[in-house]
Chain A
Amino acid sequence: MKTALPASVSFNPRTLVYYRDLILVLLAKEFKVRYKSTFMGYAWSVMHPLVMALIFFTVFSVVMRFRIDAYALYLIAGLFPWQWLVNTANSANFYFLGNATLIKKVRFHRAMLVLAGVLNEAAHFVVSIPVIVGFMVYYGKAPQLDWLWALPALALVQLALTCGVGLVIATSNLFFRDLERLVTLLAHVLFYLTPIMYPADKVPAEFTWVFYANPFASIVLCWQGLFYHGEIPAVYFGVALTWALGWLACGLLVYSKNVWRFAEIV
């Protein structure tokens, strides 16, 4: 039995129940801590993207007088999914590092820490969807029937993407303790390389390759397609899926190559 990884899953029913419980209890912990006073907790988690939207709206629509149709909705449609991505990337630094004593002493599937963190950020996005719908209604749009499959599909792609990114960052930060700063910096750069405050179609054609090369841009474009344009761009969906699976594969590789050293270096 010693040959099994601390990362091993043997498929008997109790193990499955156990991992379900582990994920649920880790998720519940995060939620209880963040939503201790229920209303303020919710307000805080939607406040950040809303304030950013307000700033961009003031700067570009009021001051600079750019004319973009339903600009507030456009901003919201990109900022909320972006927030999910960047919050995961930032908190991923501490998924393992913040559980040092557990990793040193207890044998359990360490990837669960990442999965719980990633699901937690996803849940914050899900509860903010009503806010997005509110903006849609204000601009005379409504959720369509195709949301029934499109929303879960996009959410799954982004979940896979954040799992991959989360695994890479959480693992790497054990080895490079200053990764956190680099991640913050990169997230900033990627933000401006993603059409969130400016519309993608205003970008000259010779630069659109950036949106393919930026691992976070294609999925944001898909969300904007869903919430703003009313149609998901098929090409970007393909690109987003590719990035997501690529990151997931990379994350699992980095994780499984190093998981045995966690307890030594944490």
Chain B
Amino acid sequence: MSDDVAIRFHHVSKQYHVGSPVSAGFKNLLLHLPSQIKAIRLRKPFCALRDVSFEVRRGECLGVIGSNGAGKSTTLGLIAGVLRPSSGTVEAFGRICPLLELGAGFHNELNGRENIVLNGILLGLTRSEVMDRVQDIIAFSELEHFIDAPLRTYSSGMVARLGFSVAVHLNPNILLVDEALAVGDEAFQKKCLRRMQQFRDVRTTMVFVSHDMTSVAQISDRVALIEGGCLVEIGEPSGVIHSYRNRGRAA
């Protein structure tokens, strides 16, 4: 039973300290020391997630929807293991690969090929593991003609292609997608969606955060609706999307 679960949230809460006074800088802290110390002691934590529990099965695609600031990215951060829950436990099994924002983990002055290696290693592969995949990655990105040109000469759509191509060739067990498909032309978006379908066939777990209800409905097996840090509803896509739309209308 348990090896059928890819991600498990068990009563997870996450709090942040917002508006931390020190972020205004060192000078500010020193110049207003007494009031700043008071502010630090009195600051109220902001609750980004409260008591969230759910499980994602292996090979399942979970769509996550909710308005801005609802806690979607916090959820992804907890799965990726870059955030630690304030209480509760998060478990995620296998290699996790986040699909990065445009150009993150790339360098403008390096060429496409060098960037593939850089990005692949940053995402957790060894150099030889990346080298085994380089040809496939280049072929998938359809950027053969530009692959030895520096990245700064690429259009943003081309950078997105390269990023997506690297990520999908890492054979992750869990793929985290945070609104990354918005760039790229229609043909490439279709290709990405097809690729994500293939991921499902090989039982790759996906967590897909998006505001584009059409693609959420298309890809997800289940959808989680998060509002104000609470898991409002989780279940069959059309039902959850429907109640999300209704909430929007009511508000």
**Are A106 and B105 closer than 8 Å at their CB atoms?**
yes
Q: Given contacts A102-B122, A104-B77, is CB(A33)–CB(B107) below 8 Å?
A: yes
- Rounded to whole angstroms, the CA-CA distance of A2 and B85 in the bound complex is 10
Find chain A residues with CB under 8 A from B23 CB.
Answer: 175-177, 265
Proximity bits, B105-145, A CB within 8 Å = 1, else 0: 10101100010011001111111000000000000000000
Of the candidates A25, A108, A175, the one whose C-beta lies within 8 Å of that of B117 is A25
Q: Given contacts A36-B109, A179-B26, A264-B16, is CB(A2)–CB(B121) below 8 Å?
A: no
* A22 in contact (CB, < 8 A): yes
Of the candidates A1, A104, A178, the one whose C-beta lies within 8 Å of that of B91 is A1
Which secondary structure characterizes the binding site on chain B? mixed
**Are A263 and B91 closer than 8 Å at their CB atoms?**
no
**Are B109 and A2 closer than 8 Å at their CB atoms?**
no
Find chain B residues with CB under 8 A from A101 CB.
Answer: 100-101, 104-105
**Are B114 and A32 closer than 8 Å at their CB atoms?**
yes
Q: Given contacts A18-B124, A101-B105, is CB(A263)–CB(B22) below 8 Å?
A: no
**Are B77 and A32 closer than 8 Å at their CB atoms?**
no
**Are B96 and A107 closer than 8 Å at their CB atoms?**
yes
Of the candidates A21, A104, A176, A182, the one whose C-beta lies within 8 Å of that of B82 is A104
Find chain A residues with CB under 8 A from B92 CB.
Answer: 1-2
Interface residues on chain A, number (Cβ under 8 Å): 35
- Rounded to whole angstroms, the CA-CA distance of A28 and B115 in the bound complex is 11
- Rounded to whole angstroms, the CA-CA distance of A101 and B105 in the bound complex is 8
Find chain A residues with CB under 8 A from B64 CB.
Answer: none
Chain B's nearest CB lies how many Å from the CB of A181? 8
- Rounded to whole angstroms, the CA-CA distance of A24 and B178 in the bound complex is 29
Q: Given contacts A29-B107, A177-B25, A263-B82, is CB(A2)–CB(B124) below 8 Å?
A: no
- Rounded to whole angstroms, the CA-CA distance of A14 and B127 in the bound complex is 11
**Are A2 and B22 closer than 8 Å at their CB atoms?**
no
- Rounded to whole angstroms, the CA-CA distance of A108 and B121 in the bound complex is 10
Chain A's nearest CB lies how many Å from the CB of B96? 7
Interface residues of B in 16-64 (CB under 8 A from A): 16, 20, 22-29
Can you show 20 pairs from A to B with CB atoms below 8 A apart?
A2-B91, A6-B82, A25-B117, A25-B127, A26-B118, A29-B107, A33-B110, A102-B122, A105-B77, A105-B176, A106-B98, A106-B105, A106-B122, A108-B124, A176-B22, A176-B25, A177-B25, A178-B25, A178-B26, A263-B82
